[in-house]
Structure 1
Amino acid sequence: MALLGAGLLAALAQAQTPPQGVTPNEVLLGTIADLSGPVAPYGRDVRNGLQMAIAEINARGGIHGRQLRLLVEDHGYDPKRSVLAAQKLVNQDKVFAIVGSFGTPHSLAAMQVMFPKGVFSLFPMALARETYEPLNPLKFAMLPASFDQIAPVVPGLYRERKATRACVLYQDDDFGHEVLSGTEAGLKTVGATLVERASYKRGATDFSSQVARLKAANCDFVVLGTIIRETVGVIAEARKLGFSPTFLISSTGYSELIPRLGGKDMDGLYAVHTAAFPYLDDASAPVADWARRYQAQFQSAPTIFSVYGYTKINLIARALERAGPQLTTEGFTRAMEGVDVPGDIFGNPPMRFSAAQHLGSSRSRLSQLQNGRWKVVLDYDQFR
């Protein structure tokens, strides 16, 4: 009995021991972003949103007496560098969680470093189901995977555009294959199949052969598994060839950089997304006030990726509040599974996490580029 009692006390003490990255005065977080590679504008804006929310929380006294601190690592959009960055944050800096890690293959690779050390993966900027499935007490996601974004919108848009020949052009990695799978699943519900598919390697800049293939196949509906630069390159090449199918992209293409880099040629592109781009000339009063604070801190206008970063930290703050002052890994998981957030000022859908669901929301909406600006054409739950 004495031995059993000693064992129970030891187990209880271990369960109450703060995890790495947690002290009486601080919770240490990390993020891995592209700050020098092809999607560096995305990475910088996510980082800025994270930092802005952290600064505001700390100015209010932190959470249960703890300040939040963020360490930032750059992977230059290279999955190998993402692994090295994760190793540094996890093993050397000993962070509590990595939040908003950028890129699908990058985030999935980093998780292999994080989970054996009990480090959370919180709301990565990665559109893969592996960021929230299968259930794992250490991983939570805010954005639905490309599969879950693309599959529901394809049937209705395909019919609405009276399309007959669907095709896909995608990046040959985890991210691109999610888009491919989602497209195939969506088409299946309306009895259609892909007539052509074309892929490219990460980092490619010439898409002439892929676009020529799609044009030769008479594609009138093309789903893109592309990032910013690649999206602009593909559509510009199509316009040059007089090829004008309906183009659809996941939330990777919902950015002001598309019309800024590609100009008028980008009009007509459809993109799936959640939060709305914060156009400051017609923003609501709360968003305009938030944007003024952002500009004062970073001397630049916020983008949708700034919104994502800001939202992620505030979700984490809710869970830290719920977990209480005795913060443990198990306690944070339980607290995160109880977070229930109504829609916010940015247009995000209500998000609810549970023990059976570590994705905040699977709902999306659809916008189209019209005269260089994104306009919502199908709101939440309007997909048919």
Structure 2
Amino acid sequence: MATSLAALAFNWFDSKPKAEVKIAINAPLTGSIATWSRQFPNGFKMGIEDAARAQGIDPALFSVDIQDNAGKPSDAVSIFNKQKIFGFDAYISVATGPANANAPALDAMGKPHFIAAFDPFITQKVPNRLRIMANSKIEAPLFIDYAQRRKAQSIFVMQINMAYAEEQWSGIVIPALEKDGIQVTRERFEFSQRDFKTLAQKAKVANADLIYIVGYSFHVQPALKALRSVGLVKDGRVISVMDFVDLVYTGTPTEELRGVVFVAPIFDIPGKMEKARDWRKRYEEQFKMSPTYVSAYAYDNATMIVDAYAKSEKVDTEALVGATPFNGINGKIEIDQDRDIVATVTLAEIDEEGKIRELVPLGFKPLR
């Protein structure tokens, strides 16, 4: 059963019938992927309040209804049907399953639909879709560049069997690598898989120059353990997707994280963004927890909505696009021709103290 967290934890998200702008959010705040998404409401709350203050307008002009779909598409549909009755000016779907479940109905409505999900081409299909969230499309060029700069001749990919990963690798990464003559061996695994010993042995036999792990954090962690047990985590030869950052957030022991190259939002690189440092401090004071990059992107998403309304007294797609570029917590927020965020990520590693640091030039040294 879908559960509203408005009364439980986010009292700010009360219904305001006379609000000028009504925003509905459908997100996994509990369930298997909530480690990634549960802080979205906090960042969004701060974004509305701060942006309204900066624009000299009353935050009460914005009403936000956030509901927990627990990552279940069926719950997401039930939530959407209820939110539709009360009406909204902009909609935000968090995670692929919930987003795809309601996309046809939202596409037909024509109202702005922000999608916080990893799928590379999810905004491309319909003109009312937008995205202010790190994703697989901006991750892919980093994977390609790393293999090229390290002059890899072969790579081994451990990839979750899901549409977003398939689009990223079959549609972007593999064609680019093969064009450069890099041999690609790919092994897919299912969402429920947690034992990666067999795949690690296959990676050892393949003896590829680089190994890529593509999955959720609860796949990345056991996959890394399996690869480490057969001596393959060394010399920056294992590269992980952005979900690796969740392992840092949840306090995974440093020794389990060292020696891996991974994609990280620039928000998570200490000292990279002065604005992020100050914001992080305020966030921790307000919510008594450390922010994740998801809360930072939620903040910038809210800022975009408020700025659009301040400039045009509208929050349609044209007004929202017109509110960019702007300087956000994640750097310069720009969107491309598909109304999708432009790169705000980089390659990183874990230092001796267990902190995230941007990969230095030495980390790109050729393998041979």
TM range (shorter): 0.7 to 0.9
Counterpart position of 2:244: 253
The residue aligned with 2:346 is 365
The aligned counterpart of 2:331 is 348
State the aligned residue count.
Answer: 345
Q: Tell me how far 1:261 sits from its aligned partner.
A: 2.3
Any idea what SS the aligned residue of 1:223 has? strand
SS at match of 1:129: coil
Q: Is contact 2:154–2:209 with CA below 8 Å preserved after alignment?
A: yes
Correspondence for 1:51: 45
2:62 paired residue among 58, 68, 79: 68
Which residue of 1 is the match for residue 121 of structure 2? Answer: 130
The C-alpha deviation readout for 1:279-336, integer Å capped at 9, x for no partner, is 5xx5876434322321232111222222111111111112222222xx4xxx722212
The two structures, once aligned, show a CA RMSD in angstroms of: 3.2
Do residues 231 (structure 1) and 231 (structure 2) align?
no
Question: TM-score, normalised to structure 1's length?
Answer: 0.78
Q: Which has the larger radius of gyration?
A: 1
Which residue pairs with 1:186 in the alignment? Answer: 176
Residue identity matched to 1:103:
A
Q: Show structure 1 runs of 5+ residues with no match.
A: 1-20
- The 8 Å contact of residues 247 and 269 in structure 1, kept in 2 or not, is answered as yes
- Give the alignment partner of residue 289 of structure 1, picking from 266, 278, 292: 278
> What is the distance in 2 between the residues matched to 1:229 and 1:369?
18
The partner residue of 1:277 within 263, 268, 271 is 268
**Distance verdict in 2 for CA 1:79–1:264, change over 3 Å:** farther
Is residue 265 of structure 1 aligned with residue 247 of structure 2?
no
Indicate how the Cα distance of structure 1 residues 57 and 347 shifts in structure 2: closer, same or farther if over 3 A, else same: closer
Aligned partner of 1:26 in structure 2 is 20
In the alignment, is the contact (CA less than 8 A) between 2:156 and 2:210 conserved in 1?
A: yes
In structure 1, the residue matched to 2:359 is: 377
The code of the aligned residue for 1:289 comes to D
Counterpart for residue 10 of structure 1: none
- Quick one: structure 1 residues 125 and 284, their matched pair in 2 at CA, closer, same or farther if it must change by over 3 Å? closer
Which of the residues 206, 229, 233 maps onto 1:244?
Answer: 233
Question: Which amino acid in 1 is paired with 2:73?
Answer: P
Contact in 1 for aligned 2:326/2:332 (Cα 8 Å) = yes
Of 88, 100, 105, the match for 1:95 = 88
2:74 matches 1:80 = yes
One of 187, 207, 216 as aligned partner of 1:198: 187
- CA distance in structure 2 between the partners assigned to 1:300 and 1:92 by the alignment: 34
- Paired residues of 2:30 and 2:68 also in contact (CA < 8 A): yes
Q: In the aligned structure 1, how far is the partner of 2:88 from the partner of 2:360?
A: 40
Distance 1:60 1:155 in 2: 39
Who is 1:333 aligned against? Answer: 317
Deviation at 1:139, TM superposition (A): 0.9
Q: 2 CA distance for matches of 1:24 and 1:237? A: 56
Letter in 2 for 1:238: L
Change (3 A) 1:339 1:70: same
1:208–1:85 Cα change, 3 Å? farther
Equivalent AA in structure 1 for residue 322 of structure 2: G
Q: Which residue of 1 aligns with 2:12?
A: none
CA distance in 2, matches of 1:102, 1:29: 13
- AA of the residue aligned to 1:199: R
Contact 2:267 2:276 survives alignment (8 Å): no
Q: Secondary structure at the match of 2:80?
A: helix
Given that residues 143 and 362 in structure 1 are in contact (C-alpha distance below 8 angstroms), is that contact kept between their aligned partners in structure 2? no
Superposition deviation, residue 126 in structure 1? 1.0
When residues 170 and 115 of structure 1 are mapped into structure 2, their CA distance, relative to the original with a 3 A threshold, is same
Give the secondary-structure state (helix, strand or coil) at the position aligned to 2:132. Answer: coil
User: Quick one: distance in 2 between partners of 1:259 and 1:60?
Assistant: 33
Rounded Cα–Cα distance in structure 2 between residues aligned with 1:363 and 1:59? 25
> 1:278 and 1:46 mapped to 2: Cα distance?
20
CA distance in 1 between counterparts of 2:99 and 2:215 reads 17
2 CA distance for matches of 1:376 and 1:339? 30
Tell me how far apart the structure 2 counterparts of residues 215 and 166 of structure 1 sit (CA, whole Å). 12
- Tell me the SS of whatever aligns to 1:224: strand
* 1:258–1:266 CA contact under 8 A, matched in 2: no
Find 1:142's aligned residue among 132, 136, 149: 132
Q: Partner amino acid for 1:146?
A: S
1:36 and 2:20 correspond? no
SS of the residue 1:337 aligns to: helix
TM-score, normalisation: structure 2 = 0.81
Distance of aligned partners of 1:36 and 1:145 in 2 relative to their CA distance in 1, 3 Å threshold:
closer
Amino acid at match of 1:141: R
- Residues 28-50 of structure 1: CA deviation (Å, up to 9, x unaligned): 21222222222322222222111
Pair 1:65–1:269, CA change in 2 (3 A): closer
